[in-house]
Amino acid sequence: MNSFDIAPLLRGHTFNGTSSAIVHHVEHLDQPELTCTYEQLASQLTPTTRSVHIKEVGFFLIGADYDDAVNGTSHAPHASGRAATVHNRVAVVTGGAQGFGEGIVRGLCDQGALVFIADLNLEGAETLAHELNQKAGRTTALPLACNVTDEASVQSMIQSIVQQVGGIDLFISNAGVLKAGSVKTLSKADFEFVTDVNYLGFFLCTKHVAPIMERMNRPSGNYATDIISITSKSALEGSNRNAAYAGSKFGSIGLVQSFAKELVEDRTKVNTVCPGNFFDGPLWSDPTTGLFVQYLESGKVPGAQTIEDVRRHYEAQIPMGRGCSSNDVLKAILYRVEQQYETGQALPVTGGQVMLN
């Protein structure tokens, strides 16, 4: 075994029933506190061990949070009860540099999680991480480049995270795209683009994060982890002139249910949150590629002459009278993590626009 294989197992060995340590791989340590084989680790590792040399594998630093592990300086606040739902857990948010993803990242950091911002827009992820770390006065966010449609890129993302912190507690598959248009005219390239990001991307991320979560659980058999897909209300009912998007989101629910049945044996829950329309985010409001522009140009809203006409049309369809916010989605995520007796479920967050039956 190598350091990538061992780090999640080592993190699992630090699990105390409620939380685990950050495990940071380094090339060398002059005087590690503990030197042992992996087979000896369980009997020799103690809650106060700060550094380990596992023979024929590598060297690891252990800390209460990222700064504690890497620099020996911990400024992490303490939390208990419901406030500790994601406290000091390692979270990953794909598509985390903007839109719903950015709001989710900000909310998780506020809740005390260490969040990896994974995005094609690396510059945006770096800017957001810097802002959040400055605000917190400690390392609470780390940026990563990732293309969720490229398996090698997904593998590289997971490997980088494991080497830095030892594992992943909460994976949020949020990266998504949309191309609106009639089934009579939508191009094959646009259909495949939407399907690759929204459907294939979720599969690839789950494929590579699930083994990490399984290894974290192996030492205790009681280490709960979560995979949450951010889909859409369009995952619950069809969407006129939006078949590629709705189809990819419907398909994601099939993946969620199937993954949930398989991964429950590893104490990994798999669920999805189905938000309503986030009108103020770039998906809707971008002046060039946003949905308001796309729907106006495609004629999806009969009689609409302006972007404001399109917006008013969609606001009028929501019983609660407003679009969905990032905070609405964050609350749903926290519920999914805290609730240990639900997996394979789709949770609408739509202001009453879509109701399950």
Whether 44 is covered by a domain: the verdict is: yes
Whether 58 is covered by a domain: the verdict is: yes
Whether 305 is covered by a domain: the verdict is: yes
Which of 46, 71, 96 is the last residue in one of the domains?
71
Q: Are 100 and 180 contained in the same domain?
A: yes
Residue 65 has pLDDT above 80, yes or no: yes
Which of 50, 71, 92 is the last residue in one of the domains?
71
Q: Are 26 and 97 contained in the same domain?
A: no
Q: Are 175 and 270 contained in the same domain?
A: yes
Q: Are 61 and 98 contained in the same domain?
A: no
Q: Are 252 and 289 contained in the same domain?
A: no
Mean per-residue pLDDT of the chain: 94
Whether 354 is covered by a domain: the verdict is: no
Residue 251 has pLDDT above 90, yes or no: yes
Q: Are 201 and 284 contained in the same domain?
A: no
Beta bridge partners of 92: 116, 171
Q: Are 152 and 235 contained in the same domain?
A: yes
Q: How far apart are CA 273 and CA 277, in angstroms?
A: 13
Q: Are 90 and 102 contained in the same domain?
A: yes
- For residue 34, the enclosing domain spans 3-71
Whether 180 is covered by a domain: the verdict is: yes
Q: Among all residues, which ones are annotated catalytic?
A: 245
Q: Are 33 and 166 contained in the same domain?
A: no
For 14, counting Cβ atoms within 10 Å of its Cβ (0-12 exposed, 13-18 middle, 19+ buried), the class is buried
Residue 344 has pLDDT above 90, yes or no: yes
pTM listed for this prediction:
0.94
Q: Are 228 and 336 contained in the same domain?
A: yes
Beta bridge partners of 164: none
pLDDT at position 298 is 86
Confidence of residue 52 (pLDDT cuts 50, 70, 90): very high
Q: Are 52 and 126 contained in the same domain?
A: no
Residue 82 has pLDDT above 90, yes or no: no
Q: How far apart are CA 95 and CA 316, in angstroms?
A: 29
For the stretch 123-157, pLDDT in tens is 999 999 999 999 999 999 999 999 999 999 999 99
